[in-house]
Structure formats: structure tokens, C-alpha cells
Chain A
Amino acid sequence: MGWLTKDRSAPQQSRSEALACIPVKNRHVREQRLDNGEVVVLYPVTVRPWMATLARWLGVRAAPPRTAKLQLDRLGSGVWGMLDGRRSLRRIAAAFAETHRLERKEAEVAVSQFIRELGRRGLIGLRPDSAPGWRASGREAKHRPVKRP
């Protein structure tokens, strides 16, 4: 038998700490609510810095920032509506579990995956619970429209 054959490297942030984080929307993001209750998120997408540099180097005008759309389904729209900058991931997951009568762990995983995906697109930032003076600026810089070369 292969007992303990795999290493369990210690996570950088415990599950408890991660769930205590508060998701905060990027203030450059706009949203539209459709008739069916689903939400469309509109967010600025800028050209990547290395492409801007390349364009400048080639003497080509880089593409102007454009607005991307992300349509959330019913579940995603529900979670998006709960992002008020005050509720922690734990509270959002608990509310999500209660609304849809899901297992607590399943709701935590679903909400975490969704939040991670929003974070990857720069639509939200995560504020540690212990940082009351924190401002949602870290992730915003990524989607601030870049200056044209």
C-alpha cells in the first residue's frame, strides 16, 4: 500500500482566510440588467502592454480600448447582485447555498470559482477582511484605458 505517497504542501492562504475576503467590483465596470433578470457586465479591455509597445515600435497606431460584454447566467447574476463590497465570500456562499438549497461546500466551491473567473477578467478585486482602509485600486489599474501611443 502506498501510504502518504503525495506531499501536501501548505496552502498560502487557508480556506478560512480566503472565505473571509470581500469581493469588490471594479469601478470601471458597468452593468445592464436584462428583462429575464440576467446581468450583462460591460468592462473596458485595453490592448496588452507588450502589444502597445510592439505597435509603437512598428509605428502603428494601437487599437483603442474597447468595451467587452460578459453575460452572466441566472446563478452568476444572483452572485453578482450580492457583490456589495461589504459581504464576505463566506456570507455570499451561505446566501447562495440557502437560495438554491445547495451543500455548503458545493456553494463555496461554485462561488469561489465564479469569483476567481471574475477576478481573472479584472472585474472584481478581493479585499482582505482585516484591511478596512483598503481601496479597490489594485486590479483596477489593469483596465484603466491605456494612453494611445
Chain B
Amino acid sequence: MSARNWKTIAWNGVRFAVPDDWDPARIGLRHLLLESEPGPVMEIKWAAVKGRFSGRRQLRKVYRHVGRNGGVFQETALSEKWRAAAPGFEVQGFLWDAGSERAEGVLLYCPSCHTASMIQFLERPGASVIAPHAAQVLASFRDHRSDGRVAWALYDMVAFLPDHFVLARHQFQTGRFVLEFNGRGRRLTLYRWAPAEVLLQNRNLADFAQAVAGGQSLSFRPSTTRGHPAVDGGDALPVGPGGRLQARLGMARFRRLRLWHVAGLNRILGVRLEARRPIEDPEIQAVSDGYGMADERPLGTSAEPQ
């Protein structure tokens, strides 16, 4: 293990550790391209496989792509170090060289969760990535959990959600990160804003929630979340027989929104739940408990990506 800091990246079912200066440059639903200052360093794609998995067919696609771009592709046997780093997977190695860039990669297939993943480490002349880091990244790679939860950790956000929440949309804009999930009649949105001191310069957290986080017409009450000042808002419960009937038939829409200010890290975090039935306190509490900042300790070991 080298002395430099490493961080965990967890996204849509897969998770792995990378050096601290590797940052996402492209983020897809099942695709991540990581870069460091000299350029791209790692690419990963993954997908669930229905039926029989053919690694050779996938490698042929890589071969064709590399060939089209003037590179030389080669299937290789995995080194002992790499093979030891990926126990439990069916593995096939490959490398390609396109002159100004070369890559070594591995195609992994997990027989227990039927997920195929392709990981390739990219290297340019003068920037060594593969030898010092690849085996360690590979050793940290996991593509499933056994507790019915999915970990999400990208940049400084960490979330740990039940696996019925499926990612529908994501936005990583400067100062504003949004992850939107759908699942079991619920729409869940996780927010993260920064820098909080600027965003809350002329308004309080409730005003901010109403203006920016879709909390219009909600009334907010002050609360705390893991010791941080928070506001909690929600749509009023239906009144009268007509309102109750609407709610019972699923024709109404209910929102719960909770925002909290992590002053020590200069961030505002938010959780928004929408459903056709009233959302009870324990539900928003559970989601809030599973969401936080990477630097925050209160998430607890059980909630951290493993």
C-alpha cells in the first residue's frame, strides 16, 4: 500500500478505491471515466448479463474499436498479481496500444450477481498508472452486496440506500449535486450544495429550501439532523372526506423535504421524498440517516461503502 491517500468511489452497484487525485471526468449510469491531471487514468463499464456471458464477444468489440482508432489490441493472460486481486470473478485480460496512449484492462464476470465489468487503466508516456495502482484498485473492486443496499460515493457525497431505489437522473454541477432515484412509488432526490456560507448569505435555510429545493408552498419547522441545524417541511395531510379519499386512491401528491447545514464543511445537504401517499417521519429519517458527507463520521461504519 502506498503512502498516498485513497478514496472510495461507489456508483450504481459497483465500488472500488482509487488514489485521491483520480476524479470522475465522465459519469454515466453504468460508466465512469476517471482522470488525474495528466489525463484519463481509468475507465469502467458494467452491466447485468441476461443469459450466458461471452467474454470473447465483448473483447471482440473492444478489438474492433481499438482497431478503428489505429491501435493494436491483444488478449493477454492476467498477471499473477492481478489474478490474485480479483478472486471470485471469471477474468480475461487485454491490452491495447495506440501510440500516444496505452491501456491494460480486465473483463470481470461475477457468477453470483451476473454482472460483467470492464476495467481498463490508461497510461500516457511519462505518466505511470498501471504498475503502481492497478492491482490495488482491482483488489478493492466489488460489484454487489448482500444486505439489500446500494452504496453511492462520488466526490464528497456518500449515500447508502435500499436497493429498490434506482438512479433516474444525476447532475454534478459546480456547487450543486443532485441524485434522483425512483422506487416503490417514491421519488427520492438527494441534494448537496456548496459553499453554504455564500448561499445562506441573505437568507435562512427555510428560505433557501423554498426557493431552491422545490419546497414552494411547504411550511418548514426547525429541527436537527445528526446535530446539524435543519429544516423539515412537508405537505399537509389531507383533510375532509374528499381529501382522504383522494389520498386513498393515490390521486394526491405528498412531499417531504429536509435540509441541513453542515457548517463545518460549508455544505447544505437535502433529502426530498415525493409519493402519492403521505410520507411518515421514520421514512424520511431513514433516508436522511443514510446520506452524508464523505468527511462526516456520524454515518457510522454500517452505512459506509464497503
Residues of chain A touching chain B, judged by Cβ–Cβ distance below 8 Å, are 1-5, 7-8, 10-11, 14-16, 19, 73-75, 100-106, 109-110, 113
Contacts and interface: CB of A to CB of B under 8 A. Distances in A.
Nearest to A36: B201
B6 interface: no
Contacts of A75: 195, 198
A75 to B, nearest CB: 6
A100 B37 contact: no
A106 B194 contact: yes
Contact of B23 (A2, A74, A101, A105): A105
A4 B195 contact: no
5 contacts: A3-B118, A4-B65, A5-B65, A14-B39, A101-B195
Interface in B149-179: 155-156, 174-175
Contacts of B175: 106, 110
A110 B174 contact: yes
B198 A109 contact: no
Contacts of A74: 198, 201
A15 B39 contact: yes
A110 to B, nearest CB: 4
B265 interface: yes
Contacts of B65: 3-5
B62 interface: yes
Contacts of A16: 37-38
B38 A102 contact: no
A37 to B, nearest CB: 11
B37 A15 contact: yes
Contacts of A10: 100-101
A4 B28 CA distance: 13
B201 A3 contact: no
Interface string B55-82: 0001001100110010000000000000
A58 B100 CA distance: 54
Interface string B6-50: 000000000000000001000000000101011110000101010
Given A15-B35, A16-B38, A102 B194 contact: yes
Contacts of B35: 15
Contacts of A8: 33, 40
B45 A3 contact: yes
A1 B50 CA distance: 11
Contacts of B156: 103
B154 to A, nearest CB: 10
Given A16-B38, A102-B266, A105-B23, 17 more contacts: A1-B45, A1-B47, A2-B45, A3-B62, A4-B66, A7-B69, A8-B33, A15-B38, A15-B39, A74-B198, A74-B201, A75-B195, A100-B197, A103-B155, A103-B156, A104-B23, A110-B174
B116 interface: yes
Given A1-B58, A74-B198, A113-B174, A105 B155 contact: yes
Contacts of A14: 37-39
